[in-house]
Amino acid sequence: MSAVEILLQPQVAPVLIELTNVSKTFLKGRLPVNVLTNIQFCIRQGEFIALMGPSGSGKSTLLNLISGLDQPSSGSISFRQQSIEQLSDRQLAAWRARSIGFVFQNYQLLPVLTAAENVELPLLLKNMSRRERQQRVINALKIVGLDNRADHLPAELSGGQEQRVSIARALVSDPEFLVCDEPTGNLDSKTGQDILGILQSLQRDFGKTILMVTHDATAAGFASRVVRLQDGQIKGGA
């Protein structure tokens, strides 16, 4: 292959997260219930993936496993080729704080804190000056277009604005990977599309890798890839 042909080859992004033969079983009384079975799935750096499936298909369980909030019953989950199930609880907590930002359907903002104070929360355990924390908070709020509401309490914000604060909080530590659990589930369609546009911009302009659980086909249309889960198995998109 010539040098020109090599340059013209499409560039494939490296794998960020890989699941190999991952299964998860819970006990219901004494009976084992298989929630996920032999999941084979990878997420490449810079992808925006929509994870879809009916209720009970295992989406939340899969999200918890990928983000290190739960452990698989069998199989392996690796982040940059390191198996996260082999990390100690302390190492796992440090990895999540460093590498993952969470965006929830219900925002999970503390009502007694301002928007800026809510965004600052993930930084309080980090070794940085107050001035550096404040600058990061301002930058994160600017990215989501809410720096002019920094001193407002959640009760003084609309649902869409609260979700923007939630996204800013997820971003403030500059994680590689955003996990979004039904981020537009409590929003009207117009506001939801605005939030999805922000997520799309984070992928396109800031190189963030995003995994979004959604029931909404319109929301999934903003993603670069759709993965479908049914009866604990991936049925398409992996």
Structure tokens, 57:
């298909």
| pLDDT score recorded for residue 183 | 95
pLDDT digits (tens, 9 = 90+) for 127-146: 999 999 999 999 999 999 99
pLDDT digits (tens, 9 = 90+) for 152-205: 999 999 999 999 999 999 999 999 999 999 999 999 999 999 999 999 999 999
| pLDDT score recorded for residue 130 | 94
Contact 37, 25 (CB under 8 A): no
Going from N- to C-terminal start, the domains of the chain cover 13-236
Over 70: is that where the pLDDT of 227 sits?
Answer: yes
Asked: is 13-236 a CATH 2.40.50.100 domain? The reply is no
Contact 62, 25 (CB under 8 A): no
Question: How does residue 56 score in pLDDT terms, banded at 50, 70 and 90?
Answer: confident
CA distances (Å), origin 177, targets 17, 112, 188, 209: 10, 28, 26, 5
pLDDT digits (tens, 9 = 90+) for 67-99: 999 999 999 999 999 999 889 999 999 999 999
Strands 31-44 and 15-28: antiparallel
pLDDT digits (tens, 9 = 90+) for 5-52: 555 555 778 999 999 999 999 988 888 889 999 999 999 999 999 999
